[in-house]
Every structure is written in structure tokens, then in C-alpha cells.
């Protein structure tokens, strides 16, 4: 609790200091007298005076301020300070002073990201752990264990580099260079187009169907099949075959290729357990004996198939549940085309939006096939931070390994020099600024829910959670909030820096200041707007 509070104070304290330091330094440079530089509001904790300025730290770390001489319309100045008042300064000087705070908040993240990026860091490599059998990578001949070194001549070192390399590259052959058994080979892959949408924007990206994680060997068991008769159940995870450990699908294929005759297969399966009104699952071990099936390899040698198209869960009240889909059913076709991958289904649904489609599936109870015309509907979900998001969904999920079941991914150490780290920092900050502007625009237009707003409680939670994930995560949060403060303060709302900037421009153009009465009324309106905004954020904090 004490550590979380200290991190929260550190987060706000640094950002407030950066913002107010911008105002302070530029005011001094412009010859405006600075009476007080305060970090925090309320009662003074401690202070000292140097020159003509008092520096203090106050009790409430929710903001800060720079008190300049003559920054209030009716404030009387001493004769020696008559030319050093804020409102008496030239409009261009006032503009520089007020814009300096937000600018410092927007420049400071570049420094943060520079220190995050510079030096050596461990990242997920481009070594392929799993290849979706229905996707372009498999068609092109990419296999698990291959390491991708470039995309259309563009070098890639991490899996994130690889993802970004396919932005805007789809529906055409793309040369992908791989390293296999020490040899370099270039394959032509034709990525499928997917649209990744969020409250901020949409990105068109190519998808080839690979993952860095190694996929465990999880069975899909058709009703009445040899596997079902032997005692297998859908979503059984193969742990060993004839005493040989099976960590992933590749190991299952390799081991079964060596064997004939009787097999003894140990699997892990989830045993349903009811706890009150909630049904959970407890992992149990089971041993199944059967003859190796002739003419098959991998899953088919067990009389089963991959679990890729088997439905692990169906959301209550979803389109899928209303259509009669149940956990354990196998998806067969989409708009008449056979389905072999949930990734393919997700890609098709992302482009269809709410348009109707035809879905066929096979029941897990009697093996009968069903076909219906369906359309996605909006589903609202709440994450662990209380944030609500809405998106179009069918309402089915495939089997996914839990964090305990995840196999280790291959990693690579990436070292960025000073110049490269600075270049990366300079590139990433404008992208985040653009996203912030889109979010604010979405709030005004109603496209982004006001429930996404958060106040001090949310910031406290985020500070605590990010610190648990490491200092890089905490610094990333600090950079995001700093950018948020910079963008918000540039809005032309009375009381905020943006309105003072607008006032300076107005005076420079009209050659006279905004009337005092108008300024006072605007400040009242601005105060009401800010109180309403803060009230909404506090309300969201409480309801979360």
C-alpha cells in the first residue's frame, strides 16, 4: 500500500513538475516576475525562497502552479514590477509562456522513451512457433522452427517488427526471407487482409498465420470417432505417448511417425467442478490406450484431429448461443467455404462487420451438421481496470492455453544505440499524440464512451499495476499520461493553457485584450466544464 502510494505521488509529482517547469523557465526568460513555484495544492509542506521566487511543495499532489505577478486582471503591481506582470507582457511572450507547459509535457516523453529504448533489451524473436494450417504461411511452405529475417527486403529482428512489417501489405505476393537449418531461403507469401479496429482508429494489416508461441497438442474429437470410442475427449492435451514427453504439436507428429501398434497416451483434461453458482475446471490426468491408426500421422494417427476449429466456449446471450452453438461443437464452413482455422474466421468477420453470413457446424453430441445465416452483434465487456469496450462479435472462442500452459518463446537481445533509440522515441511520440487527439475527438462526437475517462483512482491503479510489470512499463505509463496532459491543456477551454494561448493570439490580431468581464465569465464557464469532467472521472472511478 505504501509503495503504491509512493509510486502514485512519484508519477504525478514528476509530470506536474515538468509542466510547471515549462511555464516557469519561459516566464523567467521573457522577463515576467515569478512569485511562487508550487508542486501540489493546499497547505504548504515545506518551502524555500531563492531570489524573488518562493519554491514550495504542498500537501495535495494532484497538480501544481506557477504564480506570476500580474496574472489576475485586478491585481495591483508594485511600481518596480509594472513592466514585469504577465498580463502586461507582449502577446507573443504570453503565448510562449502558456504553451511552454504543454510543450514540455509533449517533449518529456521523448526523453522517457529514449531511456526505455536505449541499450540492450530482450524481445520475442521471429522464430516461428506455430503455423496455422489454413493460412498463407503454410501454403508458402513456412514451418515451425523457421526464423524470419526480412519482409520484402526490410530486416526484422523481433516479432513486433514482423507484425508492423505487414501493415499495408496484403492480397499480393510478398517476399519473406527465412533461415532454416543454417540456410537462407526466400518464399513468396500472400498475406490475407484483416482490419484491426479500436476506439481510436483502424489498421489494415496483412496476416500470414504464424505465432511465436509453440502450440500444445490439443485434440479435437468428433462424435463416434475412433478417438471418442477409445476415451479421448475434445480439448484433451497430449502430455506423453508411450512414455515420451510431448511438449507441442511438432513433438506429437515426430513421435507418432516412429511408432506402430498399440499406443498408451497420457492426456490432461479439465474436469468440471461446481462452486456455488459458478462452474470451473480442475485439471486431471487420464490414460487412453488404442491402436495407432494406419495411414495417418499426428492427430489422425490417434483417430482425432486438431482442436483448431472446435468451440471452447460460447458467450451467454450471444448470436452463437441463440443459434444453438455449444462448447465442443466443430465449425465446418463459412459462406460455403471449408474452415480450418479460427484466424481465418476472425479475419472474415473483421471485414464483414455486421453483414450476414452463412455458418455451418457439427454438433458435439450427435455429430449432425447444422447451417444457419447469422450476423455479428455488439457485445460490451469490462476489463480488470473497469474499462468498458464494445465490439461486434459472433460469440465463440477457440481453445487457448492458460498462462501456466504457455510454452516458452524464443527470445533475442536487441541493442539500440543512442541515435537509433532517439529516432525511435521521436517517431513513437507523435503517433501517440495522434491517437490522443482522435480519442478526444471521439469523446466530443460520442464515438468514444465517457466511461473510458478515469481520475486519480484509476491513475493510482495504473501506477501500481505498471510498476508490477517493471520500470519500463511504469515509464511508458508516465509518458502516456504526460502526453495526455499536454494535449488536454492545449484545448481552448477557459482556465486551461489553450484558452490563454487563444487569448494571446486574439490580442495580437485585434490589438486589444479580451474584456475583463468576458474573461471572468469564460473562466466561470471553464471551471464548470472542468468540474463536470472531473466529476465524471471520479464517478467512473467509484463505479469501477
Active-site residue set: 20
Cα 476 from Cα 478, distance rounded (Å): 5
Integer-rounded Cα radius of gyration of the chain:
30
CA distances from 399 to 5, 218, 227, 455 (A): 39, 9, 19, 36
48 φ, ψ (degrees, to nearest 5): -150, 155
- Identify the CA nearest to 66 among candidates 86, 45, 89, 88: 86
Residue 254's Cβ-side half-sphere holds a number of Cα atoms within 13 Å equal to 10
- Identify the CA nearest to 267 among candidates 293, 243, 240: 240
Burial group, residue 165, by CB count within 10 angstroms (0-12, 13-18, 19+): buried
CA dihedral of residues 115, 119, 124, 125 (deg, nearest 10):
140
Cα of first residue to Cα of last residue in the chain, in angstroms, is: 19
Cα 169 from Cα 207, distance rounded (Å): 9
Cα 293 from Cα 300, distance rounded (Å): 7
DSSP 46: E
DSSP 343-376: HHHHHHHHHHTT--EEEEEE-TTT--EEEEEE--
SS3 of residue 84 by DSSP: helix
Element (H, E) at 210: strand 210-211
- Identify the CA nearest to 55 among candidates 75, 28, 88: 28
Cβ neighbours around 24 below 10 Å, total: 23
Q: And the C-alpha cell for 325? A: 452453438
Maximum CA pair distance of the chain?
Answer: 104
Residue 434: CB partners within 8 Å, gap ≥ 6? none
Q: How many angstroms from the chain centroid is the CA of residue 342? A: 21
SS3 of residue 11 by DSSP: helix
Amino acid at each position: 500500500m505504501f509503495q503504491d502510494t509512493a509510486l502514485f505521488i512519484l508519477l504525478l509529482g514528476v509530470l506536474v513538475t515538468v509542466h510547471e517547469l515549462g511555464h516557469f523557465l519561459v516566464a523567467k526568460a521573457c522577463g515576467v516576475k515569478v512569485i511562487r513555484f508550487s508542486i501540489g495544492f493546499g497547505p504548504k509542506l515545506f518551502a524555500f525562497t531563492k531570489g524573488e521566487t518562493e519554491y514550495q511543495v504542498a500537501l495535495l499532489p494532484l497538480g501544481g502552479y506557477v504564480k506570476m505577478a500580474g496574472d489576475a486582471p485586478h491585481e495591483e503591481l508594485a511600481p518596480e514590477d509594472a513592466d514585469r506582470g504577465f498580463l502586461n507582457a507582449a502577446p507573443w511572450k504570453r503565448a510562449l509562456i502558456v504553451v511552454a507547459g504543454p510543450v514540455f509535457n509533449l517533449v518529456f516523453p521523448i526523453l522517457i522513451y529514449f531511456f526505455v529504448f536505449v541499450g540492450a533489451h530482450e524481445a520475442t524473436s521471429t522464430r516461428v512457433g506455430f503455423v496455422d494450417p489454413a493460412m498463407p504461411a503454410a501454403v508458402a511452405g513456412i514451418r515451425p522452427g523457421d526464423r524470419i529475417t526480412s519482409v520484402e527486403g526490410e530486416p526484422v529482428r523481433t516479432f513486433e517488427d514482423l507484425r508492423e512489417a505487414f501493415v499495408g501489405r496484403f492480397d499480393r505476393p510478398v517476399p519473406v526471407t527465412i533461415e532454416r537449418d543454417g540456410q537462407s531461403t526466400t518464399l513468396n507469401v500472400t498475406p490475407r487482409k484483416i482490419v484491426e479496429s479500436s476506439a481510436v482508429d483502424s489498421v489494415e494489416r496483412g496476416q500470414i498465420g504464424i505465432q511465436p508461441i509453440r502450440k500444445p497438442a490439443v485434440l479435437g474429437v468428433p462424435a463416434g470417432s475412433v478417438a471418442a470410442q477409445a476415451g479421448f475427449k475434445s480439448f484433451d492435451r497430449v502430455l506423453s505417448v508411450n512414455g515420451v514427453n510431448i511438449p507441442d504439436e511438432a513433438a506429437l507428429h515426430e513421435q507418432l511417425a516412429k511408432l506402430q501398434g498399440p499406443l498408451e497416451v497420457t492426456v490432461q483434461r479439465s474436469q468440471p467442478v461446481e462452486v456455488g453458482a459458478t462452474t470451473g475446471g480442475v485439471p486431471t490426468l487420464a490414460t487412453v490406450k488404442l491402436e495407432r491408426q494406419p495411414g495417418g500421422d499426428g492427430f489422425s494417427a490417434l483417430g482425432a484431429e486438431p482442436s483448431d476449429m472446435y468451440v471452447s466456449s460460447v458467450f451467454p446471450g450471444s448470436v452463437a448461443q441463440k443459434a444453438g452453438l455449444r462448447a465442443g461443437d466443430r465449425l465446418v464452413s463459412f459462406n460455403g467455404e471449408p474452415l480450418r482455422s479460427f484466424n481465418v474466421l476472425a479475419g472474415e468477420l473483421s471485414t464483414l462487420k455486421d453483414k450476414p453470413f452463412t455458418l455451418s457446424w457439427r454438433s458435439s453430441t450427435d455429430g449432425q451438421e447444422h447451417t444457419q445465416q447469422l450476423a455479428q452483434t455488439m457485445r460490451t465487456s469490462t476489463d480488470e481496470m473497469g474499462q468498458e469496450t464494445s465490439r461486434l462479435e459472433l460469440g465463440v472462442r477457440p481453445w487457448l492455453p492458460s498462462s501456466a500452459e504457455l510454452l516458452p518463446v524464443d527470445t533475442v537481445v536487441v541493442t539500440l544505440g543512442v541515435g537509433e533509440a532517439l529516432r525511435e522515441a521521436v517517431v513513437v511520440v507523435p503517433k501517440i499524440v495522434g491517437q490522443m487527439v482522435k480519442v478526444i475527438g471521439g469523446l466530443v462526437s460520442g464515438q468514444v464512451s465517457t466511461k473510458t475517462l478515469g481520475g486519480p483512482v484509476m491513475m493510482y491503479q495504473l501506477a501500481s499495476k505498471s510498476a508490477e510489470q517493471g520500470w519500463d512499463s511504469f515509464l511508458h505509463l508516465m509518458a502516456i499520461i504526460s502526453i495526455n496532459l499536454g494535449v488536454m491543456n492545449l484545448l481552448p477551454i477557459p482556465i486551461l493553457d489553450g484558452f490563454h494561448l487563444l487569448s494571446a493570439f486574439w490580442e495580437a490580431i485585434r490589438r486589444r485584450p479580451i474584456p475583463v468581464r468576458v474573461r471572468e465569465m469564460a473562466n466561470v464557464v471553464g471551471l464548470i466544464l472542468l468540474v463536470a469532467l472531473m466529476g465524471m472521472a471520479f464517478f467512473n472511478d467509484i463505479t469501477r
